């Protein structure tokens, strides 16, 4: 079934609304309008992806509790890679354990991972690991990092998430307005749609994105 996400008619309506709301008074260029629409679409999509991410992480965390005792692990038997290096500095206030040189004092780390939320923190950068639940504080960048790096997700989803993070989220967040021509605009929607299709987001959720 063809995805209902990002239908051209919806995109055209969004552009028309921006034209009506902003008009010429703010001197908003066509490139800037496209950038605005992409930001709205991306940030509207993320909350619909989070439940899928959380459910998958809960399952993987429970599996690792059974296979690796990750909830009670201590050195030297810690899970260090899965499949990438895990950032234990992001949990249990480990980030505060440092040597005079400024490097981490790993001998003082508490390696117990006691929830799926802490498990998620092992995959993100320290400055984004401030969330205490997989809610609005777990932003779009973190959600895409999780989709791209945690091996519970399919290779197709991982590849698509990395593409969206690089080409959509990052280029939107660190924008150069002159990059946002019609071709860039269209490719961003196609890449987000591809991500949704690899996840298998329910069609009802796709419809709710426009309500």
Q: What is the mean pLDDT of residues 1-14?
A: 47
pTM above 0.75, yes or no: yes
Neighbours of 172 (CB within 10 A): 19
196 occurs within a structural domain: yes
Tell me which residue range forms the domain holding 194.
8-208
For residues 200 and 107, which has the higher predicted lDDT (pLDDT)? 107
Query: How many Å from the N-terminal Cα to the C-terminal Cα in the chain?
Result: 21
Nearest 5°: phi and psi at 14? -60, -45
Closest CA to 1 of 206, 203, 207: 203
- Whether residue 130 lies inside any domain: the answer is yes
The tens digit of pLDDT for each residue in 127-169 reads 999 999 999 899 999 999 999 999 999 999 999 999 999 999 9
CA–CA distance, 153 with 159 (Å, rounded to integer)? 10
The phi, psi pair for 113, rounded to 5°, reads: -115, 105
Q: Residue 181 falls within a domain, yes or no?
A: yes
**Cis ω before 24 (30° cut-off from 0):** no
Say how many domains are in the chain.
Answer: 1
More confident residue, 107 or 27: 107
pLDDT at 201: 74
CB atoms within 10 A of CB 178: 10
Q: pLDDT tens digits, residue range 70-86?
A: 999 998 889 999 998 99
Q: Answer yes or no: is 3 within a domain.
A: no
> pLDDT confidence of 12, banded at 50, 70, 90?
low
Give the residue-averaged pLDDT of 13-42: 73
For residue 173, being part of any structural domain is answered with yes
Q: Is 165 exposed, middle or buried (0-12, 13-18, 19+ CB in 10 A)?
A: buried
Q: Determine, yes or no, domain membership for 2.
A: no
Percentages (nearest 5) of helix, strand, coil residues in the chain: 60, 0, 35
């Amino acid at each position: 079934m063809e995805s209902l996400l990002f239908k051209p008619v919806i995109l055209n309506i969004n552009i028309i609304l921006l034209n009506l709301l902003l008009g010429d008074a703010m001197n908003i260029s066509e490139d800037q309008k496209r950038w605005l629409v992409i930001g709205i679409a991306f940030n509207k999509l993320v909350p619909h992806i989070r439940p899928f991410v959380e459910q998958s992480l809960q399952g993987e965390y429970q599996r690792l509790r059974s296979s690796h005792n990750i909830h009670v692990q201590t050195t030297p038997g810690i899970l260090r890679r899965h499949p990438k290096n895990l950032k234990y500095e992001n949990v249990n206030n480990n980030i505060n354990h440092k040597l005079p040189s400024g490097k981490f004092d790993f001998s003082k780390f508490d390696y117990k991972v006691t929830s799926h939320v802490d498990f998620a923190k092992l995959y993100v950068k320290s400055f984004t690991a401030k969330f205490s639940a997989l809610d609005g504080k777990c932003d779009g960048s973190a959600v895409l990092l999780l989709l791209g790096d945690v091996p519970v997700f399919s290779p197709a989803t991982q590849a698509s998430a990395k593409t969206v993070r690089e080409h959509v989220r990052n280029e939107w967040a660190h924008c150069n307005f002159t990059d946002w021509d019609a071709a860039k605009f269209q490719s961003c929607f196609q890449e987000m749609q591809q991500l949704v299709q690899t996840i298998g987001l329910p069609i009802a959720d796709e419809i709710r994105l426009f309500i």
